[in-house]
Amino acid sequence: MSTAIIGAGVMGETLLSGLVRAGRRVDQLMVGEKRPERARELEERYGVAVVSNREATAKADTVALVVKPQDMGDVLDEIAPDLRAGQLLVSLAAGITTAYIESRVPEGVAVVRVMPNTPALVDEGMAAIAPGSHCDDSHLAEAESLLASTGKVLRIPEKQMDAVTAISGSGPAYIFFVVESMIEAGVHLGLPRATATELVVQTLVGSAAMLRETGTHPVVLREQVTSPGGTTASALRELEIHKVRAAFLAAMEAARNRSRELAEGS
Ligand SMILES: NC(=O)C1=CN([C@@H]2O[C@H](COP(=O)(O)OP(=O)(O)OC[C@H]3O[C@@H](n4cnc5c(N)ncnc54)[C@H](O)[C@@H]3O)[C@@H](O)[C@H]2O)C=CC1
Ligand SMILES: O=C(O)[C@@H]1CCC=N1
């Protein structure tokens, strides 16, 4: 089964590198990429063939679209003549609905919408997938196997996709923002930057491992750290005073709303 990746920026390369790590033969992979210098970089790094979008589409069994939502209309118009019924089209773009894609491609092309995230680069990705209207279980299974090479995959109804985008798609950025803020705080408290970075990163990794390995609710884990009248309680009071919980809710609502707007082409 050959796979074409159209748009090889951050997320396109993440998918490509995951497939290569998972043992996909490079001669079964193709890339369509607009920027010539980027195309050369990928050819050198992976030995993958970078071809025109139309050639990639014509030759591949599965086509993964990893361009920005704003570029999706143009790319679909370009490749539509080369798409054929039974082929699988997988979109990784935020906001873009399967109905939008289906309205621009030939009848019978199976469309799957995916929301991946960048931890896929280290095989710890979280991807959600939703079927379009001409999709059977084999198409969904094929999309699942593409993404499973770089982490977990969850099947969801498409109506949840904008919320999923706000949580796991954009989520790594929120976590990196928290990490960055904690490192900066450590520097303010007088720690060398390297020390603060090591402390924060390992604290994040350890906390994530506890969540995953114990399955314990985060509230319980937080309570275990919070000694009565202790340091953690003092810190958490400040986070509540500064409305961090409300800020997270507002931030994720904003991301969900932006995903909806992208569907409208803005
Ligand atoms: N970066 C992330 O964490 C995530 C991104 N996504 C989605 O992935 C898609 C790509 O995002 P990024 O990789 O971050 O953007 P990016 O800007 O790094 O990559 C887009 C790539 O598409 C190429 N491109 C643009 N027009 C093209 C065309 N007509 N033909 C071939 N290549 C073309 C660009 O040259 C660029 O290399 C977006 O739709 C985004 O919503 C989804 C989840 C997470
Ligand atoms: O920021 C964005 O629009 C993309 C989608 C999810 C993560 N990055």
* pLDDT tens sequence across 109-129: 999 999 999 999 999 999 999
Q: Whose CA is nearest to atom 3 of ligand 2?
A: 94
Residue 164 inside a domain? The answer is no
pLDDT at 265 over 80: no
Same domain, 17 and 99: yes
Same domain, 122 and 217: no
93 Cα nearest atom in ligand 1 = 39
Name the closest ligand to CA 31.
1
How many structural domains is the chain composed of? 2
Q: Whose CA is nearest to atom 36 of ligand 1?
A: 9
| Predicted complex: ipTM over 0.90 | yes
165 lines ligand 1 (CB under 6 A): no
Burial of 76 (0-12, 13-18, 19+ CB in 10 A): buried
Residue 165 inside a domain? The answer is no
pTM of the model: 0.96
pLDDT tens for 64-103 read: 999 999 999 999 999 999 999 999 999 999 999 999 999 9
Residue 166 inside a domain? The answer is no
Distance CA 146, CA 25 (A): 13
Yes or no: say if 108 and 136 are a contact pair by the CB < 8 Å rule. Answer: no
Name the closest ligand to CA 94.
1
Name the closest ligand to CA 92.
1
Give the torsion sign (CA, 230, 185, 212, 205).
negative
Yes or no: say if 152 and 125 are a contact pair by the CB < 8 Å rule. Answer: yes
| 258 C-alpha to ligand 2 centroid (Å) | 10
Q: What is the CATH number of the domain that holds 126?
A: 3.40.50.720
Neighbours of 126 (CB within 10 A): 21
Yes or no: say if 127 and 116 are a contact pair by the CB < 8 Å rule. Answer: yes
Name the closest ligand to CA 128.
1
3-state secondary structure of 194: helix
Distance CA 107, CA 104 (A): 9
- The band of 42, judged by pLDDT with boundaries at 50, 70 and 90, is very high
Residue 196 inside a domain? The answer is yes
115 Cα nearest atom in ligand 2 = 6
- Domain containing 61 equals 3-159
Residue at a domain's end among 114, 132, 159:
159
pLDDT at 266 over 90: no
Same domain, 249 and 210: yes
Distance CA 58, CA 4 (A): 9
Residue ranges in the chain assigned as alpha helix (H): 10-21, 36-46, 53-59, 72-79, 98-102, 137-148, 161-164, 171-188, 193-214, 218-225, 231-241, 244-263
- In sequence order, the β-bridge partners of residue 153 are 127
Same domain, 145 and 204: no
Same domain, 152 and 232: no
Residue at a domain's end among 114, 139, 159:
159
Same domain, 13 and 107: yes
Residue 54 inside a domain? The answer is yes
Give the torsion sign (CA, 157, 158, 162, 164).
positive
3-state secondary structure of 35: coil
Neighbours of 61 (CB within 10 A): 13
Q: What is the CATH number of the domain that holds 249?
A: 1.10.3730.10
169 Cα nearest atom in ligand 2 = 6
| 98 C-alpha to ligand 2 centroid (Å) | 17
pLDDT of residue 1: 84
Same domain, 80 and 179: no
* Residue pointed to by tokens 């790590």: 21
Residue 189 inside a domain? The answer is yes
pLDDT tens for 179-191 read: 999 999 999 999 9
Q: Whose CA is nearest to atom 18 of ligand 1?
A: 9
Binding residues for NADP(+): 6-11
Residue at a domain's end among 159, 194, 221:
159
Residue 43 inside a domain? The answer is yes
**Residues near ligand 2 (Cβ within 6 A):** 94, 165, 169-170
Same domain, 111 and 228: no
94 lines ligand 1 (CB under 6 A): yes
Same domain, 143 and 36: yes
Q: Whose CA is nearest to atom 5 of ligand 2?
A: 94
pLDDT at 165 over 90: yes
Phi/psi of residue 206, each to 5°?
-65, -40
Residue 213 inside a domain? The answer is yes
